[in-house]
Amino acid sequence: SVKVAPSVPNTQVWEVRLLKEGHRHFVKTLDTVGAINIWKEERSTMDIMVNGPRAAQVAGILHERDIPYSIAIPDVAVLLEREQGHALSKTFKRSSTFGDHKKMDWQSYHRLDTIYEFMDNLVIEYPYLCSVIVIGKSSEGRDIKMLKISNGNENNVGVWVDGAIHPREWISPAVVTYIADRIVRTFNEQPESVTNKDWYILPVMNPDGYEYTHTHDRMWRKNRRRFGECVGVDLNRNFSYGFGEKGEEGSSDDPGNVFYRGPKAFSEPETAAVRRQILEAKTNFKVFLSFHSYGEVIIFPWGYTSEPCPDYVELLEGGTAMAKAIFNTNGRTYKVGSTKDLMYYASGTSIDWSYAVTNIPYSYMIELRGKTHRFLLPKEEIISTSTEILNGVLRLMDFVDRRCTGTQSCVCPK
């Protein structure tokens, strides 16, 4: 992985255009050998980060292969310094002893201890609605904490919401905690489509990686389990359905690669914890939402194949309902489609697994803002991003209830 800190000058992000067969594979090999860091992969483009000292070499290699690129972020360090002024400079200096926490808000990005304390405080304030469950331990031994919001009605159906499966996507846990906060604090004013759900909310699925992005490498994507000289598994390639499909197009079997899928499905304690929690919960789940960044898209299965999933039209309609509510909030346009429609092959993803194996009919991955700043979304956009997404999620709950009644099976999907 390319290390990034404000002290590395001229680190840039390039948008590479993939015009010919073999271009994609070639760019991925550059990541494996550490020449670049892949930020985003789409059907005809990739975003890559290039360290300043390597820029001329990488540009020459791309030119030799007739792979065009444009500069998307001319100096990553400028954005990082701005972000660190807001968040990291405070947190690096702060000790982790109890009582030294920064209060939870949505004016800045927060460390794991602040997020966990926020969850615990919701339980203290709303014990009749909230409970916190440690669903497992990470590979480095950190708690994986989930918040459950429920009025205790046995007829409720389940909604799963997770964030920070990829730790560099800081806006993800910010949005997930905002959703939790708003649902809890306004529960009595919410429509039945919200209160008749058991909400299972996991703000930070990858706690080791998330902490690592605050202390060592802001652009870290994987978990922190060691494999010889290499570290980490892409947890969103480690689920069982479609695991390893499409070969190197859908994931990687190389531990040095940013998309490394792991030695086998559910090899990682973080994905195994999610699997165990969903399968053992005495809840009939109807909705699975996994929050990522960036790209402003709402994605549904499949990722491992270009074939449409059986409920393609229904999932498209549900995603479109969300996108309309998002647009009506702040005027942001989120595209809707399958993973293969909008991105590229991705094998062993959480939404393919939740849809196919656990039969959760409305399974979506939401790629949040932003298109300009990529992963380094300014803290000033946390609230506006969170409010538009909350409105999208609430609209989806209404959509689902219009298709499903009580504990009966849905009219359309499955």
The set of catalytic residues is 367
Q: How far apart are CA 314 and CA 330, in angstroms?
A: 25
User: Cβ distance 208 to 142 under 8 Å?
Assistant: yes
User: Cβ distance 203 to 176 under 8 Å?
Assistant: yes
Single-letter amino acid, residue 319: G
User: Cβ distance 375 to 293 under 8 Å?
Assistant: yes
Tabulate helix, strand, coil % of the chain (nearest 5): 40, 20, 40
Q: How far apart are CA 286 and CA 158, in angstroms?
A: 6
Q: Which of 275, 269, 278, 272 is nearest to 142 (CA)?
A: 269
Hey, which residues does 46 pair with through a beta bridge? 16, 41
Q: How far is CA 224 from CA 96, 146, 206, 217, 235, in A?
A: 20, 20, 9, 12, 10
∠ at Cα 191 (186, 363), nearest 5°?
Answer: 95
Helix, strand or coil for residue 39? strand
Residue 338 main-chain phi, psi, to 5 deg = -75, 165
- Residue-level length of the chain: 414
User: Cβ distance 363 to 278 under 8 Å?
Assistant: no
Helix, strand or coil for residue 355? helix
